[in-house]
Amino acid sequence: MLKTIETEISKHAAPPALQAEFAQHDFEKLRNFCRLTYAASIFIWLLFDLIISTKGGQGFTGLSMLFMGTMVTITLILGFIRNYRHFDVLNVIFVAVITLGIRLIIMGLPQDSQPVWLVLATASILYSASILPLSRWAFLTSAVIAGLMLNPFGLTFVSVMDLRGTMILCYYAFLSSLTIYSFFKLRRVKLYNYTMSKLLVNQAYIDALTEIPNRRSFMTRAGSVLRAQPREHDHYLAMIDIDNFKKINDRFGHDIGDEVLKRTASSIKAVMTDHEYARLGGEEFAVYVSGVRRADVDALMDTLCRRVREDPHEHPVTISIGLARVEGHDTLNQALANADKALYVSKNSGKDRFTFYAQDMGA
Question: Residue 211, by phi and psi: left (phi above 0), alpha (psi -120 to 50) or beta?
Answer: left
Contact 172, 152 (CB under 8 A): yes
In this structure, the strands spanning 354-356 and 319-325 are parallel
User: Which residues contact residue 334 at a Cβ distance below 8 angstroms, ignoring those fewer than 6 apart?
Assistant: none
**What amino acid occupies position 152?**
P
User: Which residues contact residue 25 at a Cβ distance below 8 angstroms, ignoring those fewer than 6 apart?
Assistant: 194
Burial class (CB in 10 A: 0-12, 13-18, 19+), 252: middle
Candidate list 283, 310, 314, 327, residue with the active-site label: 283
Spatial distance between the Cα atoms of 245 and 356, rounded to a whole number of angstroms: 22
Contact 237, 332 (CB under 8 A): yes
Spatial distance between the Cα atoms of 311 and 318, rounded to a whole number of angstroms: 9
Spatial distance between the Cα atoms of 20 and 83, rounded to a whole number of angstroms: 10
SS3 label, residue 214: strand
- Phi, psi (degrees; rounded to nearest 5) at 319: -130, 155
Among this protein's residues, is 283 annotated catalytic? yes
Angstrom distances, CA of residue 354 to CA of 293, 312, 359: 16, 21, 16
Burial class (CB in 10 A: 0-12, 13-18, 19+), 255: exposed
User: Which residues contact residue 260 at a Cβ distance below 8 angstroms, ignoring those fewer than 6 apart?
Assistant: 242, 245, 248, 315, 317
Cβ atoms within 10 A of the Cβ of 218, count?
Answer: 25
Of the candidates 46, 94, 92, the residue with the CA atom closest to the CA atom of residue 73: 94
CA-based radius of gyration for the chain: 31
Enumerate the active-site residues: 283
